[in-house]
Structure 1
C-alpha cells in the first residue's frame, strides 16, 4: 500500500477560445521530439493507433463539430505526450502519458459557447458519460466561464489521486441534482468557484443554471453575467505509463 499524498491545490487557467470571440491562453512551445524522448526515458507505453474521425497530438490541436470545439489543450509545464481523438463532439477521448510530477499538464475538453445573460436563460443543463482510469492524478470536470473571463466555475464530477481545488471551503450544498463541497478563491486574474461532488460518478445530468443562479442570487458572488464557454473534460496532473480517458456521451443544452 502506498503512502497517501496530500492533494495538490489546483492552479487556474485561462480558457482557449471556442465559438466565442476570445482566445486568451498563451501558447507554450513544445517540441515533439523532446516529448518523444521524454516518453522513452520514462518508459511510457507507446501511443495506440486511433481509428477515429479526427485525432491530434498537437499541443493546441482543435476540431469543430456540431457547434462544439474540441481542444487537446496541453497547457502546463513538464507535460508528456498526449493524443486526442473524436468521432463527434459527444464521443471522444484522450490518451495521455504525463509524468508523475506536480502541476496540471493539460485539460483536453469539449467546449460549447452560449453567449446569453443568465437572466435571459430559462435552462442550461448537461449530460455526460465517461470511462476513466483508476490510477494517475486528475479530475473530470466542467469548466464554465462568463464571457469576460472574470468568473470561473468548476464542477468536479470525479477525481483520482493528489488533486485539489483552488480556494477555501464554503460548506456543502445540494444543487443541480448533486451534492457538492463548494470552494471559493481567486487565481489573481479571476474569481474561481469550485464544486466538488461528494462522491465520484461516471455519468449523470447537471442543472448548470441552478448552480449559476445560486452563485448569483443566493451568494451574491457575481452579477448578471453573460455565460460564455461551457467546457467539459479531463484536467490531468499525471498519467505515467499512458492512460486512456473516454467520453462515451456528452451534450450541453441552453435556452
Structure 2
C-alpha cells in the first residue's frame, strides 16, 4: 500500500494500493453493483389434481416453505493455522497465507484462521476511518519474488472464490507485483477488484476493459499503479491475468516485458462498520506455464 484516499504515502512491501472512502479522489467513483448469487429454489411444475374438501377430521395442512440453504459448500471448520499477529503467515501448497496488518498504527485487531491456502477466513475489527488498514491475502511468490519475464509465459490464469462482509469500507482484490515487490523505482502494481464497497482506487479512470463476460473500469496513476475494477461483483470465477497484463502493457500503463514477481488475492479493509466483520476465501489457484 503506497497511497490512500488522503494521499498518505507509505513504503511497505507486500501491500495492495487503493484509496478508501466514499468521496471522489482523482475521478468519479465507480462502485461495483453487488449481485449476490441466486439462492432461489428451482421451480416445480404444477400438476393436476382433484381438490379434496376439508373435513373436521382431516384438516388441510399448508406446509411452511423451507428457505433455500445458505450453508457454504466448503468451510474452514478445523483450522491448521491461526494468527492474530500483524505479520503472521503460513506456507502451504506453494502459497503463503498472510494476515498482513501492514498499517498497524491505525489498525484494529484481526485474526486469520486457515485450513489450507485455498480455504481460510479472517475476522477483522477496523475503526471508521478511510485509510486502508490491512490486506489479509494468499499469494504466490514467483522465483522467490525475483520474478520471471512476462514474455516467458504463454499462460497466467487464476481461479478464486471470496466474499466480503457487506459492511464497512473494503475491496476484495487481486494484487500483482511486476518488476519487483513493494515500492521501488520501476515497480508496477496491477490490481483486479472483484468486489467493492465504498472504495475507490488511486489515480484516474482511463478506460474500460471487457473479458469473460465482465466489464472493468481501469484506473491508473503516475506511479505504476493500475486497477481493473469490476462493474459487477464477482464472488467466484477465473481470470486470464496474462491477457490483462498484456492489455495494460499495450496501453503504456506498464513497461514492456516486466518480471512477474507475486500474485495475491485478499481483502483490503478500511473500516468494518464499527464491529467485527469476516472475509471468507474458499478457492484460489494460479497456473503459469
Q: TM-score, normalised by structure 1?
A: 0.78
1:85 aligns with 2:113: yes
**Residue of structure 1 equivalent to 2:172:** 140
Distance in 1 separating the partners of 2:234 and 2:149: 30
Q: What is the CA-CA distance between 1:173 and the residue it aligns to?
A: 1.5
* Alpha-carbon contact 1:139-1:160 (below 8 Å) kept: yes
- 1:53-94, Cα deviation, whole Å (9 max, x unpaired): 101000000100001011101112311000011111111110
**Residue of structure 1 equivalent to 2:129:** 101
Aligned counterpart for 1:206 among listed residues 236, 239, 243: 239
**What SS does the aligned partner of 2:279 have?**
strand
**Residue of structure 2 equivalent to 1:15:** 13
**What SS does the aligned partner of 2:243 have?**
helix
Q: How many residues align?
A: 213
TM alignment of 1:1-255, pairs within 5 A? 8=5, 14-16=12-14, 51-76=78-103, 77-114=105-142, 115-149=147-181, 150-161=187-198, 163-175=199-211, 178-186=214-222, 190-219=223-252, 221-239=254-272, 240-255=274-289
Higher strand share goes to which structure? 1
Q: Which has the larger radius of gyration?
A: 2
Distance in 2 separating the partners of 1:16 and 1:131: 21
Q: What RMSD, in angstroms, separates the aligned Cα atoms of the two structures? A: 2.1
Q: What is the CA-CA distance between 1:116 and the residue it aligns to?
A: 2.0
- The verdict on how the C-alpha distance between 1:220 and 1:244 changes in structure 2, with shifts beyond 3 A counting, is closer
Distance in 2 separating the partners of 1:10 and 1:175: 31
* Alpha-carbon contact 1:112-1:230 (below 8 Å) kept: yes
Distance in 1 separating the partners of 2:165 and 2:140: 25
**What SS does the aligned partner of 1:60 have?**
coil
Segments of structure 1 that go 5 or more residues without pairing to the other structure are 1-6, 18-49
Segments of structure 2 that go 5 or more residues without pairing to the other structure are 16-76, 182-186
- The verdict on how the C-alpha distance between 1:244 and 1:91 changes in structure 2, with shifts beyond 3 A counting, is same
**What SS does the aligned partner of 1:196 have?**
strand
Higher helix share goes to which structure? 1
* Alpha-carbon contact 2:171-2:195 (below 8 Å) kept: yes
- 1:196-240, Cα deviation, whole Å (9 max, x unpaired): 001112111010000011112344631111101001000000112
After the TM superposition, which parts of structure 1 deviate over 6 Å for at least 4 consecutive aligned residues?
Answer: 9-13
**What SS does the aligned partner of 2:85 have?**
coil
